[in-house]
Chains A and B, each alone.
Chain A
Amino acid sequence: MNIEHFLTNANPSWMQYESDSDIVISTRIRLARNIANVRFPISFTEQDAEQIEHQLMNALLAINRENPNRFSYFKVKDMPQLQRQILVEKHLISPNLARRQKIGAFFLTEDESISILVNEEDHIRIQSLAQGMNLQQAYGEAKKVDRYLSKSIAYAYEDRYGYLTSCPTNVGTGLRASVMLHLPVLTMTKQMNALIQMMTRLGMVVRGIYGEGSDNLGNVYQISNQITLGKSEEVILQELEKVVEQIIQKEQLARKNLLLRAPAVLEDRLSRSLGTLKYAKILTSEEAASCLSNVRLGVSLGLLEPISQRKLNECMLIMQPGLIQQYAGATLQSTERDMYRAKLLQEKLNEQTRNNGEKGEDSYDV
């Protein structure tokens, strides 16, 4: 598959299901693996790197013959900076891999739900994405690829420490599971700091989702397990699920309370955000993220006209600098980007308004 397919598609099929919860956005699973008896990327040679890529390519060719989910292969060094940035914005590759000058490659399935990062911090990182809260499904998909690869690749694995990884924070299961949550009211009511501290004590990590230094831009947080050794995969997933469910409940409760206490103020604030998205001529990424967050909340509370989560997710994705430029088809300066962002989001939201009434257009893609 051509790289353009992955760059232009802001709505890959894995993102097209409407999830049950309007708080959970997506789920991501990552498995870190290394090949036995080959030095880790921090100390290996370029020849080692080439060799690893070849090994993976051969293993995956066999998958491509058996599996309709075909993998496409790309070398990072062949890609211009903007393309790399877009793939990072879409969470298909890591910023770490995107920065690589010489080594590094990745494999992607056509629906973009599975990517395999080669020679990032570890030789192999299998990543699986799913819409909404779907830890088991995403893990199942990653596991399938993992088991398949292990048929032809001998992993660095030993009894005591399990899967050996470059960083001891990943050793054992090599599993990092994350759930992306939209928590506007917990943020608004300043409950997030206490929650983050609690989650850290429970062995969870909380992060923002957008680019460098973005903190909790758009009130979206990524919550993931920190522990990879001393717990089984099942326990890791269950614990994360439990924590996430509790946070969802807290957010729901906070939303109810807010709605009871200040409905008019809330409706005004959320409606203004929709107005801004629809009519503003210049939108910085901060403003766009904050307005999109408010609109998402407003739609979820029934205070604003219905807009599908799919559309809102797409807007959250395309407002990032790399994708904005991809859509514009040109390199844009920061202020030009802000103008184009306003235009693009307006178009997307107008498409949605036109489509309202043609209900169900999103729901048959099973």
Chain B
Amino acid sequence: MICEHCKQRHANVTVTQIQNGQQMERHYCDVCAAQYHPFQFEMKEEPASLQQLMTNWFNFVPILKKENVAGSTAKTKACPTCGNTYRQFLKQVKFGCGDCYKTFSEQLPQLLEKIQAGTKHVGYVEEKHLKEKINQQISELRTLQQQAITDERFEDAAKLRDDIRALESKVEQGEEHA
């Protein structure tokens, strides 16, 4: 059999894919099989190569699959918002809602470590989110400041006042930028 991808070399690798719930068999030579991901699927849908890559990982690695089938209770836990289970997620490689990130928090780090550069967002912080966080910090500092005044620790209170002002100006700046 000839490789479906390069149509030149002998096909000696059979790849089983599950696409839209349908099982398909593809035959590639070992050169194409080793690197067909970037080419074979990308045109169907933009994120598909990555998605396919992940689906393939899960389907290719029997240990992972066995683990899933054995399934701890955590893995069969359904998301309260969308009803998705982790097993369903593995099948579709898509979350049903934002709450899935919380529901599957146990499994996520291992998964993200494989496909991402880390498990923590270090990019842009949503403005509203930042403001909420700062306001929360301000109210905590105000409580401390009040306590310092009551305890007559005026130096501490003055330092806290400066910290509060600095945070308040951050919020104002944020509003100007928005």
Q: Which chain A residues in 203-230 approach chain B with CB under 8 Å?
A: 203, 205-208, 210-216, 226-230
Instruction: Please report the C-alpha to C-alpha distance between residue A194 and residue B120 in the assembled complex, in whole angstroms.
Output: 31
Do the beta carbons of B123 and A233 come within 8 Å of each other? yes
Q: A150-B128, A230-B118 are in contact. Are A167 and B51 (CB under 8 A)?
A: yes
Interface centre among B82, B121, B126 (most CB of A within 10 A): B121
| Residue B70 at the chain A interface, CB threshold 8 Å | no
Stretch in contact with the other chain, from B38-46, B141-149, B150-158, B163-171: B38-46
Q: Which residues of A contact B49 (CB under 8 A)?
A: 205, 207
Interface residues of A in 54-70 (CB under 8 A from B): none
B42 close to A121 (CB less than 8 A): no
Q: How far is the CB of A146 from the nearest CB of chain B, in Å?
A: 9
Q: What is the CA–CA distance of A263 and B51 in the complex, to the nearest angstrom?
A: 44
Is A1 on the interface with B (CB-CB < 8 A)?
no
Residues of A within 8 A of B45 (CB): 94-96, 121
Tell me whether A169 and B51 are in contact (CB under 8 A): yes
Nearest chain A CB to B121 CB, angstrom units? 3
Check A229–B178 contact: CB distance below 8 A. Answer: no
The answer for the CA separation of A121 and B101 in the assembled complex, in Å, is 16
Q: Which chain B residues in 45-103 approach chain A with CB under 8 Å?
A: 45-51, 54, 81-84, 92-98, 101
Q: Is the CB of B120 within 8 A of A160?
A: yes
Main secondary structure of the interface of A (DSSP, over half): loop
Given contacts A229-B119, A230-B122, A232-B124, contact A167 B112 (CB under 8 A): no
Question: CB within 8 A of A230: which of B42, B43, B97, B119?
Answer: B119
B82 touches A164 (CB 8 A): no
Contact of B43 among A42, A173, A193, A212 (CB under 8 A): A212
Q: A200 at the A/B interface (Cβ < 8 Å)?
A: yes
Set A37, A39, A121, A229: member contacting B47, Cβ < 8 A: A121
The verdict on A168 contacting chain B, using a C-beta distance below 8 Å, is: yes
Contacts of A40 in B (CB 8 A): 82, 94-98
Q: Is A157 an interface residue (CB 8 A)?
A: yes
Judged by a CB distance under 8 angstroms, whether B35 is at the interface is: yes
In contact, A213 and B118 (Cβ under 8 angstroms) = no
A117 CB to nearest chain B CB (Å): 10
Asked if B1 CB lies within 8 Å of chain A CBs, one says no
B126 surroundings in chain A (CB, below 8 A): 150, 155, 157, 163
Decide: A166 and B95 in contact? CB cutoff 8 A.
yes
Cross-chain contact of B129 among A159, A205, A215 (Cβ < 8 A): A159
Residue pairs across A and B with Cβ atoms less than 8 A apart, 19 shown, are: A39-B96, A43-B97, A95-B43, A95-B45, A96-B46, A159-B121, A161-B101, A169-B47, A171-B101, A171-B116, A176-B47, A196-B38, A200-B35, A212-B43, A226-B50, A228-B116, A229-B118, A230-B118, A230-B122
B residues apposed to A, CB below 8 Å: 31, 35, 38-40, 42-51, 54, 81-84, 92-98, 101, 108, 111-112, 115-124, 126-129, 178
- Given contacts A43-B83, A162-B123, A207-B38, could you give 6 more A-B pairs where the C-beta distance is less than 8 Å? A42-B95, A158-B101, A161-B121, A164-B98, A167-B94, A171-B116
* Residues on A facing B (Cβ under 8 Å): 30, 34, 36-40, 42-43, 94-96, 121, 147, 150-151, 154-173, 175-176, 193, 196-197, 200, 203, 205-208, 210-216, 226-233, 236
